[in-house]
Structure formats: structure tokens, C-alpha cells
Chains A and B, each alone.
Chain A
Amino acid sequence: MEWYLPVIWAALIGTAVALYVILDGFDLGVGVLFPFARNEAQRDQMMRSVAPFWDGNETWLVLGGGGLWVAFPAAYAIIMPAMYLPVIVMLLSLVFRGVAFEFRLVSDNKPWWNFAFCFGSVLAAFSQGIILGGLIQGITVADRQFAGGAFDWATPFALLCGVSLVAGYALLGSTWLIMKTEGEVAVRARRQAKMLLLIVLACMAAVSLYTPFAFERIAQRWFSLPNFYFLWPVPVITALLAFGLWRWLGQERDIAPFATTVGLFILGYLGLVISSYPYLVPPSLTIWDTAAVPASQIFMLVGTLVLLPIILAYIVFVYWLFRGKVREGEAYH
């Protein structure tokens, strides 16, 4: 029990974070691509394609953060102070881009909220990348408390992760637009997706090459035997997916690009998990070091196992309800 529970919880939180990254990723990505729309009607269309979903998507972020507190309070209590500034900047960015959904529709000054939506989306994505990078490169811990400085996270690697995530979300957003819109917006998104794919692949390659060089434990994980025998499919499948995505973007496929991009994200995420497991606060604390007591993990697990399928069911229902493509000029309520 003491051994299994933290693993189960790590898997659950890992899933919540993955769902967050994919789901909020596409609506943040639409925000990143907002300035490229030609007119307000196209911006209406782009926003409408994500408007019924963004609030639910962002709830996964609360589940990820809340889940971390529930299941691994010691990790939550170290990571949050360590990432203090990027976390606060991310939250404020989400405030601006979140209210922009509603404010933009009732405002006289649309350009202002267009800007808030775009800038907030970019900055939120960038901050999330920095938090991710900051976590991978490790946190200074002494006596089970954060013992580093306010800007420990600010390294070239973390900035690279920030840029990568902005590009990654933009790729998700563009393939979402291919799937969910029609007309000029979809055509432009297809063009943008190709360019973004190249950028994302460059970023993935940079992160994959840099991390084993810089961090001994990551090199050990991937290149020691027999690990390598099991892990070599990860980069190979990633490459195959990227190749498929490039081809499907060229053909008139609507759903395949988004699905493939989700696949790319899952593999990239899996790569990072493989690099870091079982450390939750690299390089010192594992999931077992930071876990809540079994009584708390079980109490929460029972509810989660019952409620999560129900939640997923009604989320799927809403996505199904708002199926189909959104037209240019389609607005709101």
C-alpha cells in the first residue's frame, strides 16, 4: 500500500496534467494565433471554436495543482515557493485571457481584449514552460523545504522550455482550428501548422539532446542498458508521428492533424516523465518522500475513481454536443 498508492496518485496527477496540457493547450494555442486573424469576424470564429470548452479545460489545472496538494503535500509546499514568480505570472495571464472571452463580447474596445487574450495566452504558455523546465533542472531543497533563490528557475534551458511550449500550444491550436473551423481561418491554420511543426521538432530535439548532456541522471535513464532496449521506440514513434503529421497537413485531412499533434504531445510528455520518474522534486525527493499519508490518499482515491469517469463522460458529451465546424463571424450567447 505504502508503495502502490503514491504510484497510483502520480499516474492520476500525471494524467490530469497531460489532459490539461492537451485541452487547455489548444485553447491557449488559439490565443497565441489570435494576431494573425484578418478581421473581427475571424477572431469571433476562432474564439467561438474554443469558448464552450475553455473553462472546463482550465479546471484540469486546478485538479493538477489541487491533486498535487492532496497527494503530495510536501512536493506542493516545495515546488510552489520555488516557482513563485512564474506561477504568479501564469495565474495573472490566465486571469486576463480568461475574462477576455466574456469582456471582448461586451466591450467597445475589442482590440484591447484581443490583445489581452493573445498576450495572456502567450505569457501563460511561456510561464508553464518555464515551470516545467525549472522542475526538470531541479530545485534546491534543504530540510524538506525550498532553499533556493527567487530566480533559480531563470536558466537558458527553462527559457527554451518556455519557447517550446508556446510553439507547441500554437501547433495544437492551429490543428484544432483546422478541425473546428472553415474558410480562411482553417486555410491559414494549415499553413501555420506546417511552420509550427518544424519549430516544435527543433525544440523537442534541443531539449532531448540538452537534458542527457546536462543531467547525469537523465543520461543514465535513457542510455544505460537494458533501459535503452525498452526506450528506443519513444523517439522513433515520435519521428513517425511527425512525418505523418507533415503529410496529413499537405492533404485535405481535418481531424488527423489534431489527433497526431496530441500524439506528439503525449510522447514528448512521456519522454519527460521517463527522464524524471520517480522524482517529483528532482533531484532529491521522490513521490514516496513527498506522499500524503495513506489515509488521505485512499479517501481521495475512492472519490476520484467514482467521479472521474462521470466527469469524463459529461465532458465528452459537451464536446460531442458542440461538434462540427464554426463559421466566420459566429459569435456568442
Chain B
Amino acid sequence: MDIDPVLLARIQFAFTVTFHIIFPSFTIGLSAYIATLGFMWLRTDDERYHRLMRFWTTIFAVSFAMGVVSGIVLSYQFGTNWSRFSLVSGNVIGPLIGYEVLTAFFLEATFLGILLFGFNRVPPWLYVLSAAIVAIGTATSAFWILSANSWMQTPAGHEVRDGIAYPVDWLAVVFNPSFPYRFAHMLNAAYLTTGFVVIAVAARYLLAGKHIEDAKVMMRMGIGLMAVLAPLQLFIGDQHGLNTLKHQPMKVAAMEGHWDDGKPADFHIFAWPDEKAERNWFEVSIPRGSSLILTHSWDGPVPGLKAVPPDQRPPVLNVFFGFRIMLAIGFYMIAAALFGVFLWWRDRLFDTDWYLRILSMTWWSGFVAVIAGWVVTESGRQPWVIFGLLRTADAISPVPAASLLGTLALFVVCYGIVFSMGIYYINRLINKGPQDRVLDDSVGLPNRPLSAAEPAARDAIGRGG
């Protein structure tokens, strides 16, 4: 078989990691939202918060399961697909993954059990605390994995002997130069992703005239938070971009579609970068826009791809378009959230149908922005897997192309089934909406008699299909 194993290994990893990131992007924010609802419920004793908490917890359960199982796959793929990478980086970022397991994975997995099944076995405060612990666990997990990823982008605190990286200063490894920016950017992105799903669900209910009271709660909480976080993301993203400019100028050059090095440059709203001809086609630009953004001055010089030979440049097309997709969605989010605040102020938030329709149709915006952003940062790191230290082509396992191709097909088929079913079930749970709790968890508990009303109640809420 003549297919390049490096390419296959990359496609396979890109596929599994893209599939995986969808779920944490959602569950990091959703767990925080569930915990917030829980605290509101404890404080106000308002049944709406409790109902919403239970509702989002069932959706969380489905999403989290998909996140967990697709995450376990990744923790082994470092070795199966990238054994050379594991060997070179193991001493330095292995422990970061180790700490992720110890400080986050066990915490999330164990307390999720209480959140899903413990309602009638623990006092309300412990139930809500479990939700908060799950939320802290998901954010902690993001902390470590983004630290590891950032080290691959901007390695620090290590020394290289015989091609293997060894730790020198752990603080410098964990808090490597791009980590604070990437962590803030991703965590905020996760909250935005969830926020826009919550808003979309609320908009759907308002349009359908169902679950109105619950929808209003979700809408107010969602719009209020998004109006702060969406503009904040623009600021964080800008800072992150400046950090990238300092450490990975070629990534920025690809993001901006700049070929000539060291000159003031325009910002291309659209262009078709041509890697062979080393130029762009069909440019639509804001004059000097790029200089203004990147150097905060009218004629500041910006990096260009021609500064390095072609084999050291990242692939331009995915980086360039990934960046534009992320940016467009970011501006949409800011506009949507701020306009929502305006409607709220005019007391029209719940009955401006066209606005609600747009919101209900753009539930996917955060997911697409997150994936586009990761394409930018990961493709932009190429041709390196550990920037400046190990090339992607030198990082793979001694595994034959046929194995990679076969398992790639398996991944596509299996993930295709699981993902489409997952989306379908989540959509169905959303359509069913928040339910009053007719039945409690006392069914079948050892110390409580099974009452005759319970099977009927179970049918009433449509359990079991």
C-alpha cells in the first residue's frame, strides 16, 4: 500500500480529537451551568431552577458519556499512533496528563455518579455540591490538557539530550508562554458554546409556546452571561494572537494570509491563498488592518510566510479559513448577545420572533468556532508536533499503513453511528423539555416499599421510551 502513513495517522488523530473536543466544549460549560442552577435552587427554593437542573443533567449525562469514551481513545492514541512523540515528550508532558487523571478524571467520574443517581440518597446541599465538583473537575481537566497542548506549541522549562526532552523547571513547563492565553480562550469558548445552546433551547421553547417559565429563566441567564463573555472572548483572542505572533510568527502569517515578510499589511476579509504561487487570489481587504491588529500601529511590520522555506510553513488554507470562520462566529455571538440585551431593556426579549428564530437555529455556533479555532492552532503548528523540537513526520509509530487505514475506517463508522445517535437523542430530550418530577428515585430502594402508583407515574412521564 502506497499511502503515506504519516498522513493516515494525522487524519485518524484529527478525526478522533475533533470528535472528542465537541463534547468537552459543551460539558465544561454545561456542568458549570448545572451547578449554578443548583445554587440558585438552594438559595431561592424556586422549583424552576430545580426542574432546569434535572433537565440539563439528563442531557449532560448523554454528552458526558460520549466525551469520556472518546477521551479514553485519545489517551491511548498518543502511544498507538505517535509512539515516537510519546518517547520524546513523555518525561515532560506525561506527568501533566497524569495529573489530569488524578485531579480531574476521577473527580468528575465519581461525583457524576452522585449527580445522576444520588438525588434521594444525599441531602440537597451535597447533591448540588456534587454538581459543583463535577464542574470543577471538567475545568481542571481543561487546565492540564491545555497546559500539555501549550507545551507542544511553546515548549519551555526543558532541555533536550539525544533528541529526548527532559524536564528542568516544572513551573515553566506547566505555565509555558502560551498556556495562560490558550487556557483562558478555550475555557471561555466552552462557556460560550454552552451558553448559545442554552439560549437556542430557550428560544425554541418560546417560539413553540412550551415551557415558557423555564425558557425565560434560561434566556435571561444565557443572554446576561453571553453579553459579558462574548466581548471578553474578543479581548482574550486578541491577546492570544499577540502571544502567538511572538512565539509562532508563521502561524500568524498563515492566519492572516501574508506572504511578504516584514512589511505593513492589510487584513484580508476574504482571499484564496495559493501555496504554490505564494500569493493570494480574490483578496477583499481592509487596508493596513492587519498591522493595526497585530502591532497596534498603522505601519507596523508583520511576518510573512516567505520568511521561511516552504517545508517549514504550515498549511495555509485550513489555518486561513479556520481563523475566518472562528472570527465570523465570534462577531455573530457578540452581536447576538448585545442585541439580546437591547431587547431585554426594551422588554421585547421573549417575543421578538425573528430574533428567537435565529438563536434557535444557531445552537451549533460555539462548536464550529471551537473546531475552527483548534484547526488554526494545530495546523498552524505544522510541520512541527512539538514546535521547534520534533517534526510531525518524525513522531509516528512503526505501524503499517494498512492498520492505520483499517482502523481509520472503523473509527469513522463507529463514531458516525455513536455521534448521530447521540445528537438525535439529545434533540429528543430537548423536545421533551424540562419535566416536573412525578416520580422520585425511591423506586426500588432497599428501604422503601414499591408503591403501586409508581409504575403508572413512570408511564406518565414516558420513561422507557
Contact = CB atoms under 8 A, between A and B. Distances in A.
Highest count of chain A CB atoms <10 Å: which of B61, B73, B76, B103: B76
Interface in A86-103: 87-89, 91-92, 94-96, 98-99, 101-103
A59 B105 contact: yes
A35 interface: no
Nearest to A113: B421
Interface stretch (B289-297, B382-390, B403-411): B403-411
Interface stretch (A49-57, A240-248, A251-259): A49-57
A184 interface: no
A41 to B, nearest CB: 9
- Dominant secondary structure of chain B at its interface with chain A: helix
A293 B83 CA distance: 18
Given A69-B79, A73-B86, A107-B465, A85 B403 contact: yes
A315 B106 contact: yes
B113 A292 contact: no
Interface string B402-444: 1100110011001100100110010011000000000000011
A95 B69 CA distance: 5
Given A311-B102, A333-B117, A99 B109 contact: no
B109 A55 contact: yes
Contact of B410 (A63, A66, A74, A88): A88
Interface string B71-105: 11101101110011011001110110111111101
A150 interface: yes
Interface in B102-152: 102-103, 105-107, 109-114, 116-118, 121-122
A296 B93 CA distance: 9
Interface stretch (A191-199, A217-225, A266-274, A324-332): A324-332
A308 B103 CA distance: 9
A88 B410 CA distance: 9
Contacts of A48: 444
A78 interface: yes
A78 B83 contact: yes
A51 B118 CA distance: 12
Nearest to B106: A311
B80 to A, nearest CB: 4
B87 A318 contact: no
Contacts of A279: none
Contacts of B167: 293, 295-296, 299
A296 B97 contact: no
Contacts of B62: 99, 102-103, 106
B456 interface: no
B112 A296 contact: no
Interface stretch (B305-313, B314-322, B392-400): B392-400
A110 interface: yes
Contact of B90 (A77, A146, A324): A77
Interface in B163-197: 166-167, 170
Nearest to A80: B79
Contacts of A226: none
Contact of B83 (A81, A149, A308, A331): A81
A95 B414 contact: yes
Highest count of chain B CB atoms <10 Å: which of A67, A70, A107, A331: A70
Contacts of A314: 106-107, 110-111
Contact of A333 (B61, B109, B398, B403): B61
B76 A87 contact: yes
Nearest to B455: A329
Contacts of A308: 102
Contacts of A293: 91, 166-167
B57 interface: yes
Nearest to A98: B69
Contacts of A67: 98, 101
B80 A326 contact: no
Interface of B: 54, 57-58, 61-62, 65-66, 68-73, 75-76, 78-80, 83-84, 86-87, 90-92, 94-95, 97-103, 105-107, 109-114, 116-118, 121-122, 166-167, 170, 397-400, 402-403, 406-407, 410-411, 414-415, 418, 421-422, 425, 428-429, 443-447, 450, 455, 458, 463-465
Question: Which 6 pairs of residues, A with B, have the shortest CB-CB distance?
Answer: A73-B90, A80-B79, A330-B444, A327-B444, A52-B113, A70-B94
Given A314-B107, A333-B61, 11 more contacts: A53-B113, A73-B94, A74-B87, A76-B86, A102-B65, A145-B398, A150-B400, A293-B91, A296-B92, A311-B110, A327-B445
